[in-house]
A and B are shown apart, each in its own frame.
Chain A
Amino acid sequence: AQSVTQLGSHVSVSEGALVLLRCNYSSSVPPYLFWYVQYPNQGLQLLLKYTSAATLVKGINGFEAEFKKSETSFHLTKPSAHMSDAAEYFCAVSGAPTSGTYKYIFGTGTRLKVLA
C-alpha cells in the first residue's frame, strides 16, 4: 500500500524567501516520487521526479527535492520565492515499474501564497 502526506494545506512566504513544502510517503515497494504544480484553472504539470537515481532532484522553475529514505520524506524547496510560484503543489507516489504498481497516489495538496 502507498500513501502520501503533505504537511500544511496552506503555506505563505515572502517574495525572495525560502520555499519549503513538506511531503512524507509510505510505500511497501521502492517508490517513485513526484511533485506537480497546478496553476488556477489548469491541469497538473510535472515539476520534478525521483526514480531511484540521484537522491537530490532538480526540476523546473528552480525547484528541487531531496529523497530521504530514512525519513520517508521528499520535501520540495526553492531558495527564493517568486510571485509566479503562487499555485497549488501536489506530491505523489507510485511504485517502480517492476513492482507492478501502476497507481499514482496524490497528496491533498499545499497551496503556496507568495507575499510581496
Chain B
Amino acid sequence: DAGVIQSPRHEVTEMGQEVTLRCKPISGHNSLFWYRQTMMRGLELLIYFNNNVPIDDSGMPEDRFSAKMPNASFSTLKIQPSEPRDSAVYFCASRVSGNTIYFGEGSWLTVV
C-alpha cells in the first residue's frame, strides 16, 4: 500500500520566495496533519484537517503560513514569503478516524 506521499523531499529557496509543500494522504484516511520539526522546538502540530475541513490551525506560526485541503487526496502547505527561520522538516500525516497516524517521509526545507 502507498503511504503518505510528500513532495518535494528537499527544497532550498531564497528568503522571500514562496514555498509550496504538497501531501497526498493514504487513500481512505479522513484526517490530515501538518507538523514541523526543528532541533529547537521538536515536533509541532501546525494544522489538522478532518474530512477536508480545517479543525485547528492554532499551531500555524503566522499569517505567512497557509494550508489547504481541496479534496480528500491532496493538501498543500504554503509559506509566503519564506524566511530563514522557516527552515525545518515539514511532515504530513494522515489517519483513519480514531486510529494511528501515519507519517510521510518529510519535506526538508532550507531558506537561505
Chain A residues near B104: list those with CB within 8 A: 43
Which one of A16-24, A63-71, A97-105 contacts B? Answer: A97-105
Q: Determine if B34 is an interface residue (Cβ-Cβ < 8 Å).
A: no
Which one of B14-22, B64-72, B76-84, B94-102 contacts A? Answer: B94-102
Chain A residues near B33: list those with CB within 8 A: 104
Q: Is chain B's binding surface mostly helix, strand, loop or mixed?
A: strand
Interface bracket on B = 20 to 34
Instruction: Select from chain A the residue with minimum beta-carbon distance to B41.
Output: A108
Is B100's CB under 8 angstroms from A103's CB? no
Neighbour of B103 across the interface among A43, A102, A108, A109, CB < 8 A: A43
Question: How many residue pairs between the two chains, A and B, have CB atoms under 8 Å in the bound complex?
Answer: 41
Give the complex CA separation of A46 and B102 in angstroms.
Answer: 8
Chain B residues near A107: list those with CB within 8 A: 42
| Contact (A103, B91) CB under 8 Å given A43-B104, A46-B102, A97-B98 | no
Q: Determine if B56 is an interface residue (Cβ-Cβ < 8 Å).
A: yes
Give the complex CA separation of A44 and B33 in angstroms.
Answer: 13
Q: Determine if B25 is an interface residue (Cβ-Cβ < 8 Å).
A: no
Is B42's CB under 8 angstroms from A43's CB? no
* Nearest CB on B from A52, distance (A): 11
Is A44's CB under 8 angstroms from B91's CB? yes
| Contact (A34, B103) CB under 8 Å given A44-B91, A90-B43, A108-B42 | no
Q: Determine if B45 is an interface residue (Cβ-Cβ < 8 Å).
A: yes
Q: Determine if A84 is an interface residue (Cβ-Cβ < 8 Å).
A: no
Chain B residues near A108: list those with CB within 8 A: 42
Q: Determine if A74 is an interface residue (Cβ-Cβ < 8 Å).
A: no
- In order of increasing CB-CB distance, the 5 nearest A-B pairs are A97-B98, A43-B103, A106-B43, A44-B103, A108-B42
Chain A interface (Cβ < 8 Å from any Cβ of B): 34, 36, 42-46, 49, 90, 96-97, 102-109
